[in-house]
Amino acid sequence: MASPTPPDAIPDFLIEQFDDLSPETLRGTADYAREETYLAPDEMPDKIKEAFVLQDDDTVAAVADYADELAAFLEARDADSLRGTVANASGGDESWGHRRILQWHE
């Protein structure tokens, strides 16, 4: 099962912010986006908080839904973050491209 695909409504710079977030932080981010809480999670990057002010309601709602989907995906894999899931799947911290270059030079 592949990770959830972010909606086109979410700007790329916001999507990149989710790579290192834990499922708990993602759920808190979704709650904050839906205004179910007025306190953002401590681990939520300031860039996300600042970006919410500049986005329209549809984009913020899309972020909330995507954050919930991503949190569920990570919880199903018992992963701490999306970056951690990719590293575990590839067998280490090296990127696929970096491993290919190393193999090519062997």
The mean per-residue pLDDT over the stretch 79-88 comes to 76
Q: Could you read off the pLDDT of 41-68 as tens digits, one per residue?
A: 999 999 999 999 999 999 999 999 999 9
Pairwise CA distance, residues 92 & 35, whole Å: 38
Q: Could you read off the pLDDT of 4-47 as tens digits, one per residue?
A: 999 999 999 999 999 999 999 999 999 999 999 999 999 999 99
Look at residue 97 and tell me whether its pLDDT is greater than 80. Answer: no
Look at residue 104 and tell me whether its pLDDT is greater than 90. Answer: no
Within its chain, how far is the Cα of 37 from the centroid? 20
- C-beta of residue 76 within 8 angstroms of C-beta of residue 7: no
